[in-house]
Amino acid sequence: MNLRVSYTDCDPPAEVLADLRRLETLWSWARQTTTSPTPWLCGDYSAADAFFAPVASRIATYNLPVNAAAMDYVNAQLAHPSFRRWRAMGLVDGADQDFYRRDYPRRDWPGPAPLPARALEGTDSENARCPYSGKPVTHVLELDGRRFGFCNAFCRNKTAADPEAWPQFMALYHS
């Protein structure tokens, strides 16, 4: 699966459309049965929702047609911090894989837009220690004209991909 792109139209076959109708029914039944007042299937975010995160990502990636209630669920998945962390790490973990490329027209990712952070060279930063490991700063990113340090390129890059997905970084950013 590819969390790096989203398409405007993929012309899903009838079998996929039937599966989507079944998902709409299943998700609606779960929320009605549990009387969930939240966007989640059973009240608070749970293992059931984590199970459906890859499904929600495929609906978002391929812009698959679902009803409004199902799209609300997909949007809640895309905005959830754990999903955002998963996607951020996927954005920086290696190159795109040709196997997942499709020749469909593309659109912007439908989830929350990340803050505009960017990786920089050097080690000058507001913090001397990585917000995740506590190790000394070796890599830096810039956000809103401020420089923040991390212990390695992956910590920096996953944070630059979506700063708001990382509570430890946001605590540093707001300090």
> Mind listing the pLDDT tens digit for each residue in 119-169?
999 999 999 999 999 999 999 999 999 999 999 999 999 999 999 999 999
Q: What is the pLDDT of residue 4?
A: 87
Q: In this predicted structure, what is the pLDDT of residue 98?
A: 75
Please give the DSSP secondary-structure letter assigned to residue 135: P
- What is the rounded distance in angstroms from the CA atom of residue 87 to the CA atom of residue 163? 12
99 pLDDT above the threshold of 80 = no
Write down the pLDDT at residue 9. Answer: 86
Of 62, 61, 59, 58, nearest to 11 (Cα)? 62
pLDDT of 174 over the 80 cut? yes
- Residue spans of the domains in the chain: they are 6-107, 118-174
